[in-house]
Copies of this chain bind each other. A is one copy, B any other.
């Protein structure tokens, strides 16, 4: 089977391999997301990462996104895109069954999304993203619910109220402002993108003046919808919100309120995630407009946030105990013991090879399994087993009947 040239063990550029410890973190993130949004009655949906390329040719996605998609032609001549974001997909799915679905619709998904980033920027080409969407509510109560979910997510991850702030703006107010400058639709888009990137651009004021012919001045007056939302959130105990007249969000499809959850750390003051209202997206599928509000939360940004604050959980291996064997002849007994423990809910591994006891223990320790249980002829005969705590080295002798409650009670 050997070939002259050996295969590379590297993954494709810009994507990640998730070894068990990495995957455990991703699972922690997604489990926390699921638990939180389900409490609000959101149901999970999903779709393939492959979508017809046409889906992104309309106005469903921002052009910047379109320029960065993975698009290819399949063997049947169809143009296929690896989804760069989930909103066009969820709009497509809702449009497809609009008559059968019961509105309001509360849906979430945790898809992987792809962007073809230039390699030198060191950014990832694939990440995982929680998408939460509420269809069918035109009232700003919908925005209030979205931001409540966003806030609860942060709290579920262990963030305190002063670790983050929700910045809120209204695209309609922004559009009114743009109107005052008499911009062409193209220059409006340029300006929107410029504002979206303002924290990353040093000479933002100069660039804006260049585009407008005069300095850009944001209105300080709080938008009435933003005020109402902030009041309703406050009544629910969520006071870490601000009106931010400069908030814009990248996507072109937003039609009203937009919001972003920001890290308040002065060293790392940046957007963690956000969303907004997009009432017109279903029109692209030939439907009447359906009010919609949603947001997306990426795994990489939130993981960084939690890591900096020491909020990520330690790795716990699936097995609670490694059953180690003195000889090949004791393996059959060890297997029946493992069967019993598993049926009582204790996850365990059994040694299956001719490794020395010391090596078996070393391996169990390397995998962070907390306990080892010895099975030798003496133990089988006496029915009394030595359980070793692999971190402290302390040992305990237990009867076969005591084993499962020992491992479960220490849960």
Contacts and interface: CB of A to CB of B under 8 A. Distances in A.
Contacts of A346: 39
Interface string A1-42: 111001111111101111110111011000000000111111
Contacts of A125: 50
B318 A41 contact: yes
B6 A353 contact: no
Given A9-B93, A104-B353, A139-B353, 9 more contacts: A6-B286, A7-B60, A7-B284, A11-B92, A17-B96, A22-B46, A138-B353, A139-B328, A236-B336
A235 interface: yes
Contact of A352 (B2, B26, B139, B286): B139
Contacts of A19: 45, 93, 97
A218 interface: no
Contacts of A286: 6-7
A41 B284 contact: no
A318 B139 CA distance: 23
A178 interface: no
A47 B367 CA distance: 20
Nearest to A335: B236
Interface of A: 1-3, 6-13, 15-20, 22-24, 26-27, 37-52, 54-55, 58-60, 70, 72-76, 78, 80, 82, 92-93, 95-97, 102-104, 106-107, 112, 114, 116, 119, 125-126, 134, 136-139, 141-142, 144-145, 148, 152, 232, 235-237, 253, 280-281, 283-286, 317-319, 322, 328, 331-332, 335-336, 339, 342, 345-350, 352-354, 362-363, 366-367, 369
Contacts of A7: 54-55, 58, 60, 92, 284-286
Contacts of A59: 1, 3
Contact of A137 (B107, B253, B353): B353
Contacts of A78: 12-13
B41 A348 contact: yes
A141 B349 CA distance: 12
Contact of A283 (B2, B142, B236, B335): B2
Given A102-B366, A112-B49, A141 B41 contact: no
B6 A23 contact: no
Question: What 9 pairs across the A-B complex have the smallest Cβ distances?
Answer: A41-B319, A15-B48, A6-B286, A9-B96, A72-B72, A102-B366, A41-B349, A141-B352, A20-B43
A47 B76 contact: no
Nearest to A339: B236
A281 to B, nearest CB: 8
A48 B126 contact: yes
Contacts of A2: 280, 283-284
A44 B60 contact: no
A391 to B, nearest CB: 16
A277 to B, nearest CB: 13
28 contacts: A3-B58, A3-B59, A7-B54, A7-B92, A7-B285, A9-B93, A9-B96, A10-B96, A11-B47, A11-B51, A15-B48, A16-B47, A17-B46, A18-B47, A23-B43, A39-B342, A41-B318, A41-B319, A44-B318, A49-B49, A50-B125, A72-B72, A102-B362, A136-B353, A138-B353, A141-B335, A145-B350, A235-B336
Contacts of A347: 38-41
A11 to B, nearest CB: 6
A76 B15 contact: no
Given A9-B92, A15-B48, A102 B363 contact: yes
Interface-central residue, A8, A232, A283, A369, by most chain B CB under 10 Å: A8
B116 A74 contact: yes
Contacts of A328: 139
A97 B19 CA distance: 10
Contact of A139 (B16, B76, B354): B354
